[in-house]
A = this chain, B = another copy of it.
């Protein structure tokens, strides 16, 4: 299955063949196999560095949430109710009150904040949790939409709106940095429309990423809650003026969706492509030619293996009996960044052959130059992948579509010319009617109202009325 023919099918087959994941016997749940889980571990390490620098500490809250808790914030329960799994019995006994498997932890953490926050001196109060969460989705896709997934959820409480909004947007910036600098995924920062807001939020902001097939992935969200959860859970503090005051809260999360976005941004017909920042295998070493007859080849590779390992590089040595062709395919499939080959003639000439995953040609590199070459390539590959993705995105952004008919024509043209429909910038009058109509007729949904739109649109794409906002729309995962 090729990307070109059926991108989703390519995705599903590739992540299984590359052993990132496996389906599980529970509908919509997946197994994160070691290479897949390692991707998540690297994201955790990177984001934990940010949290530590900001003084935001990790904690862990119970997974089961009493039904009565959910009822306290009306929009929240309404939004999540259809997707909630319930524990109703233990052993053979029925529970007095059903317990929900957390879809998110505002209620549990709000209740704790109510106990812990007393004075303005306690604020801001900032907590993060790495956890499994549950949302029973009808249509699932590995990493991108599963019944159980892994994420981090940050929860903060502040003295006032300004401080809470600053944290909300500061986190969005960090999410964008994480995606771009660490995952080489370019993102579009902006505000969600009211219909796409988190259940219970005053404002929701997102970063959106464009996949190779032109579809969007919402890669992270950050919410300003106002005092809504503070009112529902009685999160109050004694202000400097000695008044009981409701705190302003925020929450924000990125999840294992990022793995899906990573794969759909960089993968190619040969399989996975990872930036070295996150690749489980940064270098794979392999002997080629009649290497078993010449033990010096494996010795040389073992020496290189040890020297890379000592530098903290994630390196593997493939000295299996498989043919070179088999090994090439396997390690391209698995997204090893650099493949270093050494055969009898290479050894004789004091060099190796190096294939960089995202460059077309193999290169000859002398043993003496190899350490520097590797450092340079491992540093260059991540920004190069980001640049490539940015360039591709630019080609798939459309600014000149003014009416629904033009949008439909755009979709038709893309189909004919075998192009992706991409992100389309439209004018929007701010009504749900326009959003509903676009979705119904084209399957496009509003992604976000960009902070920095490439241009301002003045007319609503459906109603023809004056636009209140300029909005990115796209088909989305």
Contact = CB atoms under 8 A, between A and B. Distances in A.
A34 B61 contact: no
A131 B37 CA distance: 13
A86 B84 contact: no
A115 B22 contact: yes
B26 A60 contact: no
A62 B30 contact: yes
B25 A111 contact: yes
Interface string A60-89: 111111100100000000000111111111
Interface residues of A, number: 52
A3 to B, nearest CB: 26
Contacts of A58: 34, 37-38, 41
B112 A22 contact: yes
Contacts of A40: 60
A384 interface: no
A60 B37 contact: yes
B60 A32 contact: yes
A214 B38 CA distance: 41
A10 interface: no
Copies of the polypeptide in the assembly? 2
A66 B27 CA distance: 10
A136 interface: yes
A37 B59 contact: yes
A88 B98 CA distance: 10
A132 interface: yes
A325 interface: no
A90 B99 contact: no
Given A25-B69, A85-B89, A90-B85, A33 B59 contact: yes
Interface in A85-115: 85-92, 99, 101, 108, 111-112, 115
A57 interface: yes
A374 B394 CA distance: 56
A36 B36 CA distance: 28
Contacts of A81: 91
Given A84-B91, A91-B136, A108 B24 contact: yes
Interface in A189-240: none
A150 interface: yes
A127 interface: yes
Contacts of A33: 59
Contacts of A41: 58
A306 interface: no
Contact of A59 (B31, B61, B83, B108): B31
A343 B83 CA distance: 59
A61 B31 contact: yes
A62 B112 contact: no
Nearest to A98: B89
Closest 4 CB pairs of A and B: A34-B57, A29-B62, A32-B60, A82-B91
24 contacts: A22-B112, A24-B61, A24-B62, A25-B66, A25-B69, A25-B108, A26-B64, A26-B65, A26-B99, A29-B62, A30-B62, A31-B59, A31-B62, A31-B112, A34-B57, A37-B60, A40-B60, A41-B58, A62-B148, A64-B148, A82-B92, A86-B87, A86-B89, A91-B136
